[in-house]
Structure 1
């Protein structure tokens, strides 16, 4: 038995590696930069955890969300690893000061792109022997860095300050364009690339066009009340997450809502309750789901057109991690394209915002925090006209992404084939339950709920929706 398999069995309790895992780990140990694209549930965390036990030094993991960091820390602790910490806003001032003084005691340090801009933290990091750096959920560099978290783009300078440290970039979805952004931002040198097929045969795709928003909500509520989960309902509106949860709870569904404006401690609690089976359904914005360790999610429901194919694949990919059949349902109306674009553009700076920022009049104008943060970064990088042109291009790309997805769900071609084609991949074998364009038999996939609540007379959902969502 070689050393890799010995650690795999003794430390992680697995007999064999999954496809690509050993190959990737060997490249990391050899000191190479690596880009690894593997679907959700393929064991990406093992790729940065196992090599650490064969290499000297500390592993720095750059993670996008506080809840994701905390979950990853807990997962390592369950494996018996005590030398792990998350450096983030959860720490009090005293805890952070103590952590900075004792960073060398930790084997795994999780942190955020924003925290990497803290000079005191950086000084402490420069004193360490760093084995390698991990960019977890690396697609966020491209998808979020240009949009609302410019500190992702500042990672480039931080990587450069570390000098000769190799980098591992992990994600479940990335186009060739996103991979290019990842390589450039992380200053990778001829990285080894491993790209697994993104097809998830156990997930069937259902597309449903409805007349209006009330019909959409009625359909979703009927589906959840009559069929078994666990599941996630994704919506663009924070208010709708609460409305869905309220109505479902009244019908005996174990459910909670989740969005970015909630207290972080509440979000982590809800995530843990869902993972542990105390909740059957989550009604959420796209703030929920990244890093969720729940194998038996049977349904993903979208009540809108997502802003990108990559984002959609990330969200539906949270189902069927156990390999058993699941279904991803997307409901839309003819006006959803414009609504999705409007939501995507809410915090984007207009030309007037950019002009004010460069004329140093920005402080006199009240703007969204996100807009201010974006412009503060680009003002350091580009002149006014270059920034105006950049955001014109970003907006155009956003519209193209949304419209492309709309065309996918509207045409008659197999949705699974189109989704894979978007990532320059081909469908090797069509599963029995493919998509609604391939004559999908939904009733043979979903199990009916049979509790007492389900047998009661249905209420008038339209009247209830008019009360909860007045025009």
Structure 2
């Protein structure tokens, strides 16, 4: 059997050897076990669920993925190696195209779809009538990150799996602390899963935090983008800021979820082909972007969680070469994330009005007008979900608990920005790993030099007047 793995690896994928950890995962999958695989970005997670399909060859492999860009990227690579038995069900296909796929499921080896598409009743019924080899949940951390509220279908994946006949299930992601691992196993109802947890450490990434005053951040970003190795990604919290910052930087484009699909594809394509050096973006950019030479990731605003931070800096250095993660932090930056958290949940008064109106016979269709909400607003979708699943007291308590949990996670991100001990140790402990010694490490452990001009970045940048005079000098 082991020789068969190597022969399939060479014949189908064109590789001579497995990367570290891939074979163990593949063997567990081939043995029919449920699997939870936490492997760093660039470790070849997709091969671990694609190769067993050629070994077992006894049904459809369904891959649930969160983003269209992620699905498009994986399908492109599958087709490039000559595999035609791959299809997708997304918002991009017409009803006729979707039905044609569902009518001929036995033609396909791989089917990609979002959790929302999997939850469509006639899709679930069609898949339940089809031999399924395995159900794969890609980027499985989203079950915990989004499944509670923003995309409730993630929380239903375990139930949907049962409707498909409880096929073998594999969950894969790049990062997951203990609480998230537990959430994934519980939500998917994984049975005694084989767990493969690789270190969250990315030794090639140098970790830097610069503490600044608020008015120093933009001038420092302009200087930093000029000096760091590129290609570079600059993350910020809002769409408006992504657009504004891109205009302030040289050779930069912006990317966010409010852009049209065509514009996002164009911008992403330009960045992938190295036609633009800097991408300024919200968290909408990243998953599914197969670019291994990103040299720097800069956070202009504080991410909401350490998991999000690790996912985003993990886009740098996928080729194993030196890369840099720089967080620009000013006191009060957390207020943006606090505002965003508050906006993601219905206010208590709106919850109480909604429950009162429903008890008095008001239809769901009339609630958005009464509450002055958009029917398509995710907050209203969350409110509808609570109305069907919780009592009034339960709904109020649940929102309070979720917001407390989100604030706690934000507090951990602030702690990372403020600590005076090794930043890498802090991240590894968060992911239940032991500290390690490595050089170079982070700005606390020693100065970090950018290779292009050997500019040294220290942990507290204080000479801001000098920097400002350089930026605005007319000499």
Give the TM-score, by structure 2 length.
0.90
Corresponding residue for residue 200 of structure 1: 202
Q: How does 1:31-430 map to 2 (within 5 A)?
A: 31-55=32-56, 56-212=58-214, 214-248=215-249, 251=250, 253=251, 255-359=252-356, 360=358, 362-363=367-368, 364-367=370-373, 369-428=377-436, 430=437
Q: Distance in 1 between matches of 2:19 and 2:227?
A: 36
| Post-superposition CA distance 1:169-197 (Å, at most 9, x none) | 00011111111111111111111101001
SS at 2:115 equivalent: coil
Corresponding residue for residue 436 of structure 1: 443
Deviates more, 1:312-321 or 1:217-226: 217-226
Q: Distance in 2 between matches of 1:339 and 1:34?
A: 37
Q: Cα–Cα, structure 1 residues 447 and 356, in superposed 2: closer, same or farther, change >3 Å?
A: farther
1:20 has 2:21 as partner: yes
Q: Distance in 2 between matches of 1:298 and 1:30?
A: 39
Q: Distance in 1 between matches of 2:107 and 2:353?
A: 47
Q: Distance in 1 between matches of 2:19 and 2:454?
A: 30
Q: Distance in 2 between matches of 1:264 and 1:439?
A: 43
| Post-superposition CA distance 1:31-79 (Å, at most 9, x none) | 1110000111111111111011112100000000111111111111112
Corresponding residue for residue 467 of structure 1: none
How far off is 1:459 after superposition? 6.4
SS at 1:256 equivalent: strand
| Post-superposition CA distance 1:220-255 (Å, at most 9, x none) | 11111234310100000211111122222xx4x1x2
Q: Cα–Cα, structure 1 residues 388 and 99, in superposed 2: closer, same or farther, change >3 Å?
A: same
Q: Distance in 1 between matches of 2:11 and 2:293?
A: 26
Q: Distance in 1 between matches of 2:118 and 2:126?
A: 11
How far off is 1:446 after superposition? 6.3
How far off is 1:119 after superposition? 1.7
Corresponding residue for residue 452 of structure 1: none
Cα contact 1:228–1:447 (8 A) shared by 2: no
CA RMSD of aligned residues (A): 1.8
Which ranges in structure 2 are unaligned for 5 or more consecutive residues?
Answer: 456-468
SS at 1:437 equivalent: coil
Q: Distance in 1 between matches of 2:124 and 2:406?
A: 34
Q: Distance in 1 between matches of 2:160 and 2:317?
A: 37
Q: Distance in 1 between matches of 2:453 and 2:352?
A: 54
* Matched pairs, number: 447
| Post-superposition CA distance 1:348-385 (Å, at most 9, x none) | 11212222332326332122511111122233322221
Which ranges in structure 1 are unaligned for 5 or more consecutive residues?
Answer: 449-456, 462-471
Q: Distance in 2 between matches of 1:221 and 1:355?
A: 47
| Post-superposition CA distance 1:201-227 (Å, at most 9, x none) | 000011001111x31111111111234
Cα contact 1:60–1:130 (8 A) shared by 2: yes
SS at 1:420 equivalent: helix
Q: Cα–Cα, structure 1 residues 443 and 225, in superposed 2: closer, same or farther, change >3 Å?
A: closer
Q: Distance in 2 between matches of 1:192 and 1:71?
A: 27
How far off is 1:303 after superposition? 0.9
Cα contact 2:206–2:448 (8 A) shared by 1: no
| Post-superposition CA distance 1:418-446 (Å, at most 9, x none) | 00100101133x22221111122223476
Cα contact 2:35–2:171 (8 A) shared by 1: yes
Cα contact 1:160–1:187 (8 A) shared by 2: no
How far off is 1:8 after superposition? 0.9
| Post-superposition CA distance 1:301-331 (Å, at most 9, x none) | 0011111000100000010011100000000
Q: Distance in 1 between matches of 2:267 and 2:104?
A: 32
SS at 1:261 equivalent: coil
Corresponding residue for residue 464 of structure 2: none
Cα contact 2:227–2:453 (8 A) shared by 1: no
Give the TM-score, by structure 1 length.
0.91
SS at 1:432 equivalent: coil
Q: Distance in 1 between matches of 2:338 and 2:453?
A: 32
| Post-superposition CA distance 1:365-411 (Å, at most 9, x none) | 12251111112223332222112111111111111111122112212
